[in-house]
């Protein structure tokens, strides 16, 4: 529960950019999740700093949500202030061959920017839905190419909102689908991403090729969070779940996709409990049939009931 003084301070700082008891189902691509105590959508760095400072002063936990494409929000009330940086969407080309990209820039905004200017190097992200903040936190990628390949620096604000640091590439610890080493609760504000000069036709052709390949193999017309599990070394999570006989398995409103067994789709009315139950079932079945441990890629947020 947010104390009255903190609520007033949040309202004073953010005006109508803070909403209380906001359903997280509206912030996640799986369309599941209960209410969070407050959803803050700050518009400037100052508002982010003040929001974090208010949370720290009142000992209220906070979390960051990008566009929610890799997030499973639990069903029960979540005692937290969720910050969403979708209003930080500045994107500039610099003379040194880099783009300065704010955390709320979306994959489609960035892809279109690169196509228009004939900038190559980021085409791999065209079908990875989300924001640059989420891409960085997840080290998003496709086989053979990850965000870490193009990041030159990130700009991060501390969990209490007190200091901003520019962390150079050499100090960033990107691993498979994660960025390690930031203090918990840090908020990524922007990044420098390197690109190379090409031409519009070539960049568009590569984007079209990648999107067409995805259309064939992924269930893109139903709510999901993309790959639920990380691929274990030398294997594919989807192959293992399928081999365990669970492709198409349905529980409540959730379904292990019949198109790609590493996707769980919301077929209508799914709850986080349905999705979690399928995740556990798949883990147990793959452990039994193949002796491999499946580690979730999807990030779970919320208070455990």
Nearest in space to 154 (alpha carbons), one of 130, 129, 126, 174: 174
x/- mask, ligand FAD, residues 137-176, rule CB under 6 A, reads: xx-xxx----------------------------------
Contact 88, 182 (CB under 8 A): no
138: which residues sit within 8 A by CB, 6+ positions away?
70, 130, 147, 177, 178, 179, 297
Stretch that binds ligand FAD, among 36-44, 46-54, 65-73, 235-243 (CB under 6 A): 65-73
Residue 65 engages ligand FAD in binding (rule: CB under 6 A): yes
Residue 66 engages ligand FAD in binding (rule: CB under 6 A): yes
Active site residue: 177, 204, 249, 299, which one? 177
**Residue 52 or 286: which CB sits closer to ligand FAD?**
52
C-alpha–C-alpha distance, residues 47 and 39, integer Å:
13
> What contacts 24+ positions apart, CB below 8 Å, involve 96-101?
97/194, 97/195, 97/196, 97/197, 98/152, 98/192, 98/193, 98/194, 98/195, 99/192, 99/193, 99/194, 99/195, 100/190, 100/191, 100/192, 101/132, 101/190, 101/191, 101/192, 101/193
190 is catalytic: no
**Residue 112 or 289: which CB sits closer to ligand FAD?**
112
177 is catalytic: yes
Active site residue: 227, 242, 257, 299, which one? 227
Joined together, the tokens standing for residue 186 give: 């840090």
Q: Measured from the CB of residue 109, what is the shortest distance to ligand FAD in angstroms?
A: 12
Stretch that binds ligand FAD, among 11-19, 43-51, 135-143, 279-287 (CB under 6 A): 135-143
257 is catalytic: no
C-alpha–C-alpha distance, residues 221 and 223, integer Å:
7
C-alpha–C-alpha distance, residues 288 and 293, integer Å:
10
Give me the sign of the Cα torsion angle 163, 134, 178, 296. positive
Residue 134 engages ligand FAD in binding (rule: CB under 6 A): yes
Residue 29 engages ligand FAD in binding (rule: CB under 6 A): yes
Query: CA 253 → CA 152, 257, 271, distances in Å?
Result: 42, 12, 7
Stretch that binds ligand FAD, among 34-42, 216-224, 246-254, 275-283 (CB under 6 A): 216-224
Nearest in space to 87 (alpha carbons), one of 20, 17, 19: 17
Stretch that binds ligand FAD, among 18-26, 110-118, 217-225, 272-280 (CB under 6 A): 217-225
Q: Measured from the CB of residue 197, what is the shortest distance to ligand FAD in angstroms?
A: 26
Find the binder of ligand FAD among 67, 154, 256, 261 (CB under 6 A).
67
**Residue 70 or 111: which CB sits closer to ligand FAD?**
70
Query: Residues 186 to 205: which contact ligand FAD by CB under 6 A?
Result: 187-188
**Residue 67 or 285: which CB sits closer to ligand FAD?**
67
Active site residues: 177, 227, 297
Positions in the binding site for ligand FAD (CB under 6 A): 29, 63-71, 85, 103, 128-131, 133-135, 137-138, 140-142, 187-188, 218, 220, 224-226, 299
């Amino acid at each position: 529960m947010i104390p009255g003084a903190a609520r007033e301070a949040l309202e004073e700082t953010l005006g109508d950019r803070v909403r209380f008891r906001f359903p997280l189902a509206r912030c996640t691509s799986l369309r599941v999740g209960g209410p969070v105590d407050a959803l803050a959508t700050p518009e400037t760095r100052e508002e982010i700093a003040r929001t974090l400072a208010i949370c720290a002063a009142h000992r209220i936990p906070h979390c960051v949500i990008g566009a929610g494409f890799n997030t499973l929000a639990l069903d029960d009330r979540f005692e937290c202030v969720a910050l969403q940086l979708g209003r930080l969407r500045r994107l500039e080309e610099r003379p040194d061959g880099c783009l300065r990209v704010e955390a709320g820039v979306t994959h489609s905004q960035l892809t279109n920017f690169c196509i228009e200017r004939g900038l190559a190097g980021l085409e791999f992200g065209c079908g990875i839905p989300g924001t640059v903040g989420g891409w960085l936190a997840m080290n998003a990628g496709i086989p053979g190419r990850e965000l870490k390949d193009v990041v030159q620096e990130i700009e991060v604000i501390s969990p209490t909102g007190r200091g901003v640091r520019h962390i150079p590439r050499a100090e960033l610890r990107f691993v498979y689908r994660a960025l390690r080493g930031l203090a918990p609760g840090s908020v990524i504000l922007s990044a420098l991403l390197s690109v190379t000069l090409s031409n519009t036709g070539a960049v568009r052709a590569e984007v079209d090729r990648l999107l067409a390949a995805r259309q064939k193999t992924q269930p893109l017309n139903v709510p999901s969070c993309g790959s639920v599990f990380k691929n274990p070394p030398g294997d594919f999570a989807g192959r293992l779940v399928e081999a365990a006989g669970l492709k198409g398995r349905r529980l409540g409103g959730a379904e292990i996709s019949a198109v790609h067994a590493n996707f769980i789709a919301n077929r209508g009315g799914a709850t986080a409990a349905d999705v979690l139950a399928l995740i556990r079932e798949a883990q147990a079945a793959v452990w039994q049939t193949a002796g491999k441990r499946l580690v979730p890629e999807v990030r779970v947020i919320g208070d455990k009931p």
